[in-house]
Every structure is written in C-alpha cells, then in structure tokens.
A = this chain, B = another copy of it.
Amino acid sequence: NRPLGVAVIGYSFMGRAHSNAWRNVSAFYPDVPAARMTTLVGRDGSRVQQAADELGWEGTATDWRDVLERDDIDIVDVCTPGHLHAEVTLAALRAGKHVLVEKPLANSVAECEALVAAAADSPGTAMLGFNYRRVPALALARELVQEGRIGRIQQVRLSYLQDWLSDPQAPMTWRLRKESAGSGVLGDLGSHAVDQLHYLLGEHVTEVSGSLRTFVSERPGPNGTEAVTVDDAAWATLHTASGVVASLEVSRVATGRKNAMVIELYGTTGSLRFDLERLNELILTQTPGADARTAGAATILVTEPEHPYVDAWWPAGHVLGWDHTFTSQAADFLRAIATGDPVQASFEDGLAVQRVLAAIETSDGRGGARTETGN
C-alpha cells in the first residue's frame, strides 16, 4: 500500500504541466491511490536538478532507461518531444510500468499501431493524455450527448485557431521544420480537435477530404532565409460511420485568436458550443418544447458541483484554469490503475486520431479526394 512512485520524462512545457498535476492530485482527489513524485528525468543533469527543486521532485535522473529498472518507480509519464514517444513508451510497457503518454501517442500511424499492440500485451495501465477530455465543460458536453439531450448529431464544426504565425516576418523555429516537428498545425492542434470529436461522439472518423496550406513559405532563420516545411493551416471534412459530417479548420495565422478551440455539435433536438478561450462555459441550445418563445442558447457556467470534475475543486462559481485538466487526468489515471476500468484516452484512441491526420495529408496529396482512414 505504499504510494505509487512516479517518474516524469521531460521537464519543459509538458513536463512542467504534468509535474503540477502530480504535485496537486492528492489534495483534490484524496480518494485515488497516493502518488509520490519520485524522479524527474532530463538529459542535462544540472538543469533537471533545478527543475526538480522548483517543481517538488524528490530526485532526478539523466537517462530514462534507468528509471525503468527501478522498483520504486511504478508510473512512467512520457513528456518528451513526440518523436521519442514510441521508443520510451514501448520500453516502459515492456518493463511492466504503468504508462501515461502526453499526446500525440506517436508521430506516425505505424508507431501508434506498435504501441497499441504493446499496451495490449502489457500488465501495466496505459493511458494517453488528451488533457481536454478533463475540461469540465467538455466532459459535460459528452454526458449530454450520450444522454441524447441534443438528439442524433448530424453536423459538427471543429476549429482550433491561433495566431503566432500571422506575421510573415515571424522567425523560423524547430516547429516549422518537418524533420523536427513531424507536422505543422494539423498535428499540433488538429489532433486535439479530432480527439474531441471521437470523445464527444463516441465513434471514429472513417473517411476524410482535406487540404493543407503553408501561407508563408520562407521565414527568417538564424542563418538567413529558410524554407518552411510544415503547414500553417489545414481544412478537412470528416465523415463517421453513422453519417455525421464534421468540418475541421486549424490555423496558426488566425490573427487575434490565441487558443481558440471551438467545437459546435448540431443534433436533431439541440446543439452545443464550446470555446477553449472560455474554458468554464458551455453553450446549450435545445429545440423549444411547449413554449417556442423561450428557446435560446444557454450559457452554462460549468462550475457547479453537479458538473463533471468540479466537486473535486472549489465551491460553486469559482472558475478553473487550463492546468486543472492535467490534475484531473492524473487522478483518473491513478483510479484506472486501481480499478482496471477503461482509460480515457486509450492508445486505440491515439491511433484513431493519427489515422485521421494521416488520411488528411493523403487526401491533400490527392487534390482533396475522399480518403478512408482505416478506422
């Protein structure tokens, strides 16, 4: 009954967000198994030590392979860059660890398939960290969809817009090189939007039509002008087996939009709307019942104890932020370890997303022709 020992691999943006989750999970979710912040892993010994001191880790390591061999590490939490996810995760699964992987599961469909197979063979619990599944408003949306509150869904609108590349003079970064980033905005933001679609509908996208665009093909780099080799924006039409059609639009040049993942679900008897920039709100419309005069779009402040995840936090009316989703995610992971219940998201979910993204790229290469995803 000792606390579960945790090692987080990586200590930059995502490592920091996950560390915050491990530091706070027991305070808000005292009923889940206890976790211990055992080891923070990073290649640079002095920097990882400084990060560990700030973030509250007991110890550090500079080689992730080392922690896989330790008995006091029960959980490996993979927060490396995406192209390392597969290698670390596979090794951790083989070592029998419980594994939490920050999204994306991996950068290719093939890697994802290997990870799904490995997870099936492993005694450990394997979970993929799509943190937005723990936004209370989105979890509430899923409940309402599942209960049929908006009827049968016909049409969905997905967009995820940012603007940090609006300026054609914005400089080159590793995120704009195919070799380092894998893909552009489609993989970075499109993955979140597609996972939400799967999560909210409870089914996967089977066919797509898509196109990509790099608006600014060259940017100033450290050694002069350099070619941008990933997409700035992407568009797709997504189809599910049950007949839902979803549009998808993602962009890094949408001036004025900072972190605008907007999701609209249109059902036969209602609709739902969410904007990540207003994370604590969900807008619900229901077709009028007896009184057509009072039908309207209800902005729900999702801060009541009846709302998903909210009762773990503060009294009614106190808004949450972006990072709270990671803490709730850690709680769900710990609970799944204890109960063996299905995880959210599974590695299969990660593979399903990757297949959709790959199919969009394929479709783009085929002039927008409809392409099956394999889901």
Contact = CB atoms under 8 A, between A and B. Distances in A.
A233 B368 CA distance: 19
B298 A271 contact: no
Number of identical monomers bound together in the oligomeric complex: 4
A155 B237 contact: no
Contacts of A54: 26-27, 30
A183 interface: no
B258 A316 contact: yes
Contacts of A155: 215, 233, 251, 253-254
Interface string A302-326: 0110110000011111111111100
Contact of A256 (B157, B237, B271, B316): B271
Interface size class of A (residues with CB under 8 A): 35 or more
A13 interface: yes
Interface stretch (A68-76, A96-104, A197-205, A261-269): A261-269
Interface stretch (A87-95, A111-119, A171-179, A288-296): A288-296
A211 B233 contact: no
Contact of A370 (B243, B293, B367): B367
A299 interface: yes
Contacts of A369: 367-369
A303 B256 CA distance: 12
Interface in A11-52: 13, 16-17, 19-20, 23-24, 26-27, 30
Interface of A: 13, 16-17, 19-20, 23-24, 26-27, 30, 53-56, 140, 143-144, 149-151, 154-155, 157, 159, 162-164, 166-168, 209, 211, 213, 215, 233, 235, 237, 243, 245, 247, 249, 251, 253-259, 264, 266-271, 276-280, 282-285, 287, 292-301, 303-304, 306-307, 313-324, 363, 367-370
The 7 closest A-B pairs by CB, nearest first: A256-B285, A321-B321, A259-B317, A296-B298, A258-B317, A296-B300, A298-B298
